[in-house]
Amino acid sequence: MKRIYFTLAIATLSLGITWAHNGSPNKNLDSQFDSSDTISMEGRLQQIHVIATRATKSTPVAHSNLTHAEIERNSYGLDIPSLLALTPSMIATNETGIGIGGTSIRLRGTDATRLNVTVNGMSLNNPDSHSTYWYDTPDLISAVGDLQVQRGAGTSTNGTGAFGGAVSMTTESPLSEFGGEASLSYGSYNTNKQAIRISSGIMNDHWAIDARMTHIGSDGYIDRGATDLKSYMLQGAYYSDRTTVKLLSFGGKAKTNLTYTGVTKQEMDLYGRRYHTEGQYETSNGPYVLADGTHVDYYDDQTDNYLQINNQLIINHQLSDSWNLSATGFYTYGYGYYKQYKDARTLLEYTNLGITDSGVEADMIRRKIMRNHTGGVNASAAYTSERLQLLTGGSWSYYTCPHWGELDWVDGMNSGSIGGRWYDNDVNKHDANLFVKALWQAARGLNLFADLQYRFVSYKAWGVNDNYDWNTMQMQPIDVDKKYNFFNPKVGISYDFGKGHNIFASFAIAQKEPTRSDFTDRYMFAKDQTQPEAERLYDYELGYQYTSERLSLGANLYYMHYKNQLIPTGMVNDSSDALNTNVPKSYRAGVELMASWKIARWFTLGANATFSRNKIIDYVDMLADSPTFGQNLGNMTIAYSPESMAAAFAEFKVKGFEAIIRTQYVGKQYFTNNEIETLSLDDYSVTNLDLAYTLPSRAAKSVRLGLCVYNLFNKKYCSNGYGYSYMWDGERYDEAYYFPQAPLHILANVTVKF
């Protein structure tokens, strides 16, 4: 099957080498500095144009654009990572098996902590963990107007550094006339979505109000993998000839059952692919009997609960025909906790209980809690003339977040004996940057690009963590006080020649600070007491693209050389965050090929593929418990970095009928950096079919019926996992855990626009 797939992919690629979305970009993005907000010919107010973080067709940066129509077509109920996986070199992973809940992404082998994500220029990455937790902003996909993915170091952006790429999104604009839509979805595993949107249209020639509410629920493919998401978006806007003011608030409440421990291959053989151990505890009269005869029961509130509210005030002003000014103030509030049943815990590790005997154990229910506040401002000024585009600006943000733990119940103890916090620590972080970008048309078709950014980070964390140190007989202390000064220059050149041909080259330096987990969880694998180092990336890119009315072709070569790259060890902490360690020298090198051919008005073929090498140079295994500790293993493949990825699609459009079939292939991935076969994820391919028909209607603007068939060929595959090796009593052990994905399943939708 693998050979058949590659034959089809290569046949499609032989048509050309770029991706449809790399072709003719959204015309609203043709000018990097067009930030006006006016009424468009289609009757929709244009989206907010985030000029500070976007690339254009003349910018020498590898990027892909997704239009509102493409986003809307994939917004039945899945999280944004499933949409991003349509772009080159991108992989989406999911814990519940159906693309809802615990989803994440990797780009060119780098994980979510190294991918910068912004909404209207505001960073969506958590400043502490650097990850974007998509279910914390439920159904954001339905509120997105357009989207751009930059691969590599990209252009200067706000928030945590782009170390593998960046995702820049704008929220959808209000309608220019009164209207709205209602959408209902239902499918396998009780997956359901209900959404409604109402827009006032322009009132008194200047004002508009838009509101959206959504609920998404699913039982999940994985047992006890239910998801319950509620979201909203509310925006008010004022428009004048030269000024636009928007006030937005979006967010929601998420409750997801914990499934992040995964399942071993042995457990899948015994108990099935949907099995996992979260919330499971042994009891002599348990109602469930495992295959080995063990009686168990399950705690029904083993959940992650989170509330997040994002607020933005955006002001755009056209000072003159040449100058545009933009400013955004933002504030994000978040509060959440894990609620977990823990079986036979050593009570000495919970210092608030006052237990001094290490032999005392009991079952318990505990909560790990956080409350965070993030506020700041982004500002930019843009100048454009016939041959020069100049942009300068900056941002500042402040983040604070206490973390603490409480016990709800301990078997054999009354509630008055379990009060207080068993750990308590705090974080604050200042993040500021200044940048200047210039795009100069030096000659006809020849554009020179420069982007200079200075970024300052102050990060402090103090208190005690949730890890008990048996050497000191105390909770693990946290004492981090770091300041970073990063200078990130980027230069490039692009040249338009012939009709529709473009070639570009660029060089960029990017630097990034470690995450919270890199500091606090280093003890879990390191033999010394050192702290992690900041990373540095030297990114070389060379690209070509051809765009015509029917054909888009392109290729991009990249070489990403790292100093002190923080690579995943394969291990995870108690919250399923990857544990990373610095390696002195490493690189990622590859070629990205993309193609789209509109054979007829009703039929389009497209494909993309990435072939890469991702290596640590002279890897010395410094994981304390590893069987190869201290050994130089030579040049080894970086964990979670497949050497090949490919995707192909065929799209049919006949009158109101649409059909798209997509296939994605992801090559083999290692969980660790030792290239151990038992600690790896098999290659996989999966095919999805998307069908839709738009009915003519007099009572509404449109009625669209849709049906998505996921995993059309019923493949049994896993999209993610983790693993590690250790020595015990002189013997080697390899532990690997996987996240199985659902077999063939469907999701139906009806959307009425009025």
**pLDDT for the residue 78:** 80
**Contact assessment for residue 667 and residue 645, using Cβ atoms and an 8 Å cutoff:** yes
**pLDDT for the residue 57:** 84
With H, G, I as helix, E, B as strand and everything else as coil, classify residue 222: coil
What single-letter amino acid sits at 112? A
Residues contacting 457, CB < 8 A, separation 6+? 429, 430, 431, 432, 482, 483, 484, 486, 513
Q: How many CB atoms lie within 10 A of CB 205?
A: 7
The gap from C-alpha 590 to its chain's centroid, in whole angstroms, comes to 22
What sign for the dihedral angle of Cα 667, 670, 671, 676?
Answer: positive
- In 3D space, the residue among 346, 362, 368, 369 whose CA is nearest the CA of residue 410 turns out to be 362
Q: In 498-534, at which residue ranges do the beta strands (DSSP E only) sit?
A: 501-512
Angle at 148 between CA 144 and CA 149, to 5 degrees: 125
Task: Give the DSSP per-residue string, 351-417.
Answer: GGG----TT-EEEEEEEEEEEEEEEEEEEEEEEE-SSEEEEEEEEEEEEEEEEEEEEEEETTS-GGG
Measure the CA–CA gap between 210 and 236, rounded to whole angstroms: 6
Measure the CA–CA gap between 122 and 119, rounded to whole angstroms: 5
- In 3D space, the residue among 323, 362, 327 whose CA is nearest the CA of residue 342 turns out to be 362
Could you give the C-alpha distances from 158 to 127, 264, 512, in angstroms and in order?
11, 39, 12
**pLDDT for the residue 577:** 84
Could you give the C-alpha distances from 637 to 559, 618, 631, 663, in angstroms and in order?
15, 11, 16, 26
**Contact assessment for residue 502 and residue 495, using Cβ atoms and an 8 Å cutoff:** yes
Measure the CA–CA gap between 123 and 670, rounded to whole angstroms: 30
Angle at 331 between CA 328 and CA 336, to 5 degrees: 150
**Where is 433: in which H helix or E strand?**
strand 423-443
What sign for the dihedral angle of Cα 157, 56, 106, 586?
Answer: negative
Residues contacting 571, CB < 8 A, separation 6+? 524, 525, 578, 579, 623, 722, 724
pLDDT in tens, 89-101: 999 999 999 999 9
Q: How many CB atoms lie within 10 A of CB 242?
A: 12
Could you give the C-alpha distances from 484 to 320, 334, 562, 630, 677, in angstroms and in order?
38, 26, 18, 30, 39
Q: Residues 63, 67, 68, 71: what is their CA dihedral angle, to the nearest 10 degrees?
A: -70
**pLDDT for the residue 221:** 98
**pLDDT for the residue 49:** 52
Low-confidence ranges of the chain (pLDDT < 70): 1-52
- In 3D space, the residue among 144, 114, 120 whose CA is nearest the CA of residue 132 turns out to be 114
- In 3D space, the residue among 336, 341, 304 whose CA is nearest the CA of residue 576 turns out to be 304
